[in-house]
Homo-oligomer: A and B are copies of this chain.
Amino acid sequence: MRNGFAKTDARLPAYARLRDTLTARIAAGDWTPVQPIPSEAQLAREFDVSIGTVRKAVDGLVSEGLLERRQGSGTYLRAPSFNATLFRFFPMRDSDGAPLSIPQSKMILRSRAKAPAEAAEALGTGKVIKIVRLRSLSDLPVLFEEIYIPRNRFAGFEVLPDVAFGPLLYPTYFEHFGVLVKRATDEVSFGRASDAVAHQLRIRTDDPLAVIRRTAFDVEDKPVEWRIASGSADGFRYRSEIN
């Protein structure tokens, strides 16, 4: 065939097929955030469309947060574009407005496991790796997290050396497994601390708890992570923008 589109629906308009082709290249890990992707003129030649059509395709990916334009320099992959640290659930400043100390993250467990029902339903598989973390502010534990990721996307995650992990998981997902988290859904509810959670959070059993369940999706809208996080309901707040 004359053009270079990946296997996309030929009935779609050219800009949509180009957009899907570029998304596939991103998902395949063809590009990194440090080198610009091909220029608009190059893409126009490669796919035999006009620059205007390239711009429309790239516009879509920029508005999705996948790409980033830098005038005079080029267009770059934006990864991890997704900043959803659980610490936005708690105040980062004390009552005087002074910033609290740097958030800490302690990995408690990392091993193959069978996913609990909720996680298996969200991920579409029960074969997962389970991660347990405790996150703290000023040496006070504030959030207890259980995280499940599918083994077929994260083979070998459980044996990665500890130095591969920073305070955030999503950069690790991208750098070591090419998994780019693009969006997520959160669900906040109320519960009470079990013995185990209470012990980790240094609160009492049955104390009020804020519970956040999250499912995260990659650039192709496939679920790649399910997690449940718990913190004391006192001082908890969840901010959200609605459009």
Contact = CB atoms under 8 A, between A and B. Distances in A.
A239 B190 contact: no
Interface residues of A, number: 26
A188 interface: yes
Oligomeric state, in number of copies?
2
A225 to B, nearest CB: 12
Interface stretch (A96-104, A136-144, A179-187): A179-187
Interface stretch (A40-48, A118-126, A193-201, A229-237): A229-237
A111 to B, nearest CB: 28
A28 to B, nearest CB: 22
A210 interface: yes
A236 B183 contact: no
Contacts of A190: 190, 208, 210, 233-234, 236
A130 B232 CA distance: 33
Contacts of A233: 190, 208, 233
Interface in A185-243: 185-190, 208, 210, 233-234, 236-243
Interface of A is mostly: strand
A169 B140 CA distance: 42
A63 interface: yes
A236 B189 CA distance: 6
A178 interface: no
A84 interface: yes
Interface of A: 63-65, 82, 84, 182-190, 208, 210, 233-234, 236-243
Given A187-B237, A187-B238, 5 more contacts: A185-B239, A189-B238, A190-B233, A233-B233, A238-B238
